[in-house]
Amino acid sequence: MKASIEWLKDFSEINVSGKELGDILTMTGSKLETIEERGKDIENVVVGKILEIEKHPNADKLIVTKVDVGSEILQIVTGADNVSVGDIVPIAKSGSTLPGDVHIKKGELRGVESNGMMCACTELNIPVDRYPNQIEHGIMILPPEMESRLGENIVEVLGLEEEILDFEITSNRPDCFSIEGLGREIAISLNTEFKNPRKNLAEMKVENKTELEGLKVDITAPDLCYRYIARMVKDVKIGESPDWMKRRLEACGVRSINNIVDITNYVMLELGQPMHAFDINSIAGKHITVRRANDGEKITTLDDQERILSQDMLVISDEEKAVAIAGVMGAQNSEIEETTTTVVFESAVFNGGSVRKTAKKVGLRTEASSRYEKGLPQENAERAINRAVELVEIIGAGKAVDGKIDVYPTKQTFNQVEFNPEKINRLLGTNIAREDMVKTLEKLEMKVEGNTVIPPYFRVDIERLADLAEEVVRFYGYDKVDCTLINSEATLGIRTKAQKLTDKIRQTLVNKGLSEICTYGFINEKDLDQLCVTEDSDLRSQVIPVKNPLSEDYSIMRTTTLPSMLQTIVTNQSKKNKNVGLFDISRVYRNVDGQIEQGNVPTEDTMVTIGMYGENVDFYILKGLVEKILSISSVLRYDVVSEKCNNSYHPGKTANIKVGKDVIATLGEIHPEVAENYDIKGDVYCAEIWLDKLVKYGKMNKKYTEVAKFPAVERDIAMVIDEDVEVGNIERAIEKKGKKILEEVKLFDVYRDEKIGAGKKSVAYSLKFRSKDKTLTDEEINSTMEEILKELESLGAELRK
């Protein structure tokens, strides 16, 4: 909310600078956003009178003038064509400064000396429409009576100096969206007098009529319109508003249109109640109905846009057509024209939520709608319309018609709020005396009656004790409230098992040289195609689409983290980063069994995703990392199973880690086709690990096992076996027959060559045997070895001696 100090002074004593005022109000709840100091950037510009005009000897488009600036006569060369002898104009003398840090100096124009410059409105930052008969691209012509002030500073003469403060108003304080409301806050904040100059408005006795000069008003949607007041002015002469009014409007960022429209805006800014004005002649049947719009009903608003309405919107209508979208904007068909002579003012209160939704739907957020949507008090409407009529008479724009039409189906309710100083102090941690609280509340125009407070009509936000506490502490000073630490039962501040594990995994991956990335939960629907995900996959059927996505790239919630990882890899490849290792600890979102359709939240699982490319990566390095994660998660029993059916991964270089039947991780090389779809160069290795499953299967309670007392015996086995037999199977065979005394199986060599033959490989293991309770004999080991060898032969192994 923009407000000029000059206007605010009508309502409150202000004995501090604009900056100080802003700082003080910031601490009582209206935060100063910006401060604009108009006129300060104009120096040494004075009132002058043109005495002579001659043609420039060397230029057709220039003239040479003599100007009286009081103390001297200046020769000024100008290209302006709207000046004549005798005109009073603003003169920027040599050495003057204009807005925008423009400096004017003595100079020569085509060989003729010029000692300054005549100024246009725009050069002085004055809106062209503030003064009558000014033109955009011409010198500002001042009124003739200003001749008496030749040589005087233009800033003072025109009153250009103005301080405009822009405050951030919170949504619970529609009353502060007005000069009056801000003035009240200022008076309390500065501890000066609130002048309450509009006190008279509520006291005006205007007779309520059912018909006003033939005008009737009906509300057919009382759920959306709580009150509608109409008053009329006649013998209206549409014209320009007086300077003071234009200036105040401009300061608040509102453009002057004509005297009647300006009055409606002026009242809105001053009192916070939006107003509207109609030409009586444009209201068919002189009958205003506040009704719901018809579906598909069209209206052309004042901004020359056709809007299509629907049943949930409220319109102001005559007997034929809608003449305004209630609370948002009027229609062109009932606009105030230069020929208007009788004006109907509207001051109404609509349902805030309805106005907000309508404004959003038609895409038109106006000064009026932004006030209405916060919920305005019905009781202010009459004050506002009285003020509008008063202003018409003050500026002589027309004559008031006696009486009003006031349709008021939903009376404003007043809260009775519990007032308990002890409770307030207990909530705040303060020790404020009751009298001081009462003083503050009374300045805020609340009625304190014993243990009850009745807030004034304009404070609809005050509903309960906590609200009173805020009012009290706002003016007591948030800064005066002590800083204490909670004094209550001790609580335990520790991480959960899952949180600890997450940190441990993160730390491990960082220590292994991987960098953590942070990605969005959204992906593009096309990502699933690029990943070659099959049509019947859960990754597709469980997808959660966003109804109003920012773009296609963010159109669904991801069911897999691979796209986010692959995109990041693409980014890094495009930046020519070599040998990159990344990980992401983030979520996937799955709509399982129609959770969303039932209004529930979907399943969210946390994934650890690893992505690597470059020289130092292969499947086994990735597997080593994954196994390290399994190990620190204390997932000790798991199977590594070759995975050929995951279309996103290379069918020959991919494995699932399983606990029983549950897949807890997938790792491998990204399928070359998928890599190509993402424009990835070279091999990329990825792993997806279900963090929640690590927590589930991890045996976090570690147990001591006795350190071996008896010696171990090592034996090596080497064999030639078909390429197709996975070493996992060989190991399982060895473990099966090694029984209790087999302590360790270590693969130490795998090779292939011509001697062994095509389709075969040589595999060598070192086995370690040990018993817990004795030294093993050769016979015991030999018999176990024999069983192992037999088992291996049954797998097709040919043992090498």
Task: List the one residue from 127, 222, 456, 549 that touches other proteins (CB under 8 A).
Answer: 549
Task: List the one residue from 490, 645, 707, 758 that touches other proteins (CB under 8 A).
Answer: 490
Residues in 152-181 at the binding interface with other proteins, rule: CB under 8 A: 170-173
- In the complex, least distance from residue 654 CB atom to other proteins, rounded to whole angstroms: 24
* 26 touches other proteins (CB under 8 A): yes
Beta-carbon contacts of residue 99 (< 8 Å; ≥ 6 apart): 41, 42, 123, 124, 125
- In the complex, least distance from residue 143 CB atom to other proteins, rounded to whole angstroms: 40
- In the complex, least distance from residue 622 CB atom to other proteins, rounded to whole angstroms: 15
Task: List the one residue from 387, 474, 653, 671 that touches other proteins (CB under 8 A).
Answer: 474
Residues in 44-103 at the binding interface with other proteins, rule: CB under 8 A: none
**C-alpha closest to that of 219 among 295, 312, 316:** 316
Rounded distance between C-alpha atoms, residue 425 and residue 473, angstroms: 9
Q: What is the Cα Rg of the chain in Å?
A: 42
- Window 349-378: contact mask with other proteins (x via CB under 8 A): ---xxx-xx--x------------xx----
* 511 touches other proteins (CB under 8 A): yes
CB closer to other proteins out of 471 and 688:
471
Report angle CA 511, 516, 518 to the nearest 5 degrees.
170
- In the complex, least distance from residue 584 CB atom to other proteins, rounded to whole angstroms: 9
CB closer to other proteins out of 312 and 786:
312
* 521 touches other proteins (CB under 8 A): yes
277 CB burial (10 A radius; 0-12, 13-18, 19+)? buried
Residues in 688-727 at the binding interface with other proteins, rule: CB under 8 A: none
Q: Which amino acid is at 371?
A: R
The string of DSSP letters for 734-787 reads HHHHHGGGEEEEEEEEEE--TTT-TTEEEEEEEEEE--SSSPPPHHHHHHHHHH
Are the C-beta atoms of residues 669 and 562 closer than 8 Å to each other? no
Task: List the one residue from 296, 363, 450, 493 that touches other proteins (CB under 8 A).
Answer: 493
Rounded distance between C-alpha atoms, residue 339 and residue 358, angstroms: 31
CB closer to other proteins out of 488 and 794:
488
Task: List the one residue from 60, 489, 773, 778 that touches other proteins (CB under 8 A).
Answer: 489
* 589 touches other proteins (CB under 8 A): yes
* 487 touches other proteins (CB under 8 A): yes
**C-alpha closest to that of 89 among 165, 33, 143:** 143
CB closer to other proteins out of 26 and 762:
26
Q: Extract the tokens encoding 468.
A: 């009173």
Task: List the one residue from 17, 300, 451, 499 that touches other proteins (CB under 8 A).
Answer: 499
**C-alpha closest to that of 32 among 18, 15, 43, 17:** 18
CB closer to other proteins out of 330 and 352:
352
Task: List the one residue from 429, 660, 757, 796 that touches other proteins (CB under 8 A).
Answer: 429
CB closer to other proteins out of 511 and 701:
511
Residues in 551-580 at the binding interface with other proteins, rule: CB under 8 A: 554, 557, 568, 571-572, 575, 577, 580
Choices 25-33, 303-311, 526-534, 627-635; region in contact with other proteins by CB under 8 A? 25-33
Rounded distance between C-alpha atoms, residue 566 and residue 673, angstroms: 13
Rounded distance between C-alpha atoms, residue 785 and residue 11, angstroms: 102
Residues in 374-403 at the binding interface with other proteins, rule: CB under 8 A: 374
Residues in 449-468 at the binding interface with other proteins, rule: CB under 8 A: 464-467
Beta-carbon contacts of residue 600 (< 8 Å; ≥ 6 apart): none
* 547 touches other proteins (CB under 8 A): yes
- In the complex, least distance from residue 617 CB atom to other proteins, rounded to whole angstroms: 12
- In the complex, least distance from residue 516 CB atom to other proteins, rounded to whole angstroms: 4
* 682 touches other proteins (CB under 8 A): no
CB atoms within 10 A of CB 58: 10
Task: List the one residue from 6, 13, 24, 31 that touches other proteins (CB under 8 A).
Answer: 31
HSE, CB side, 13 Å, CA atoms: give it for residue 493: 2
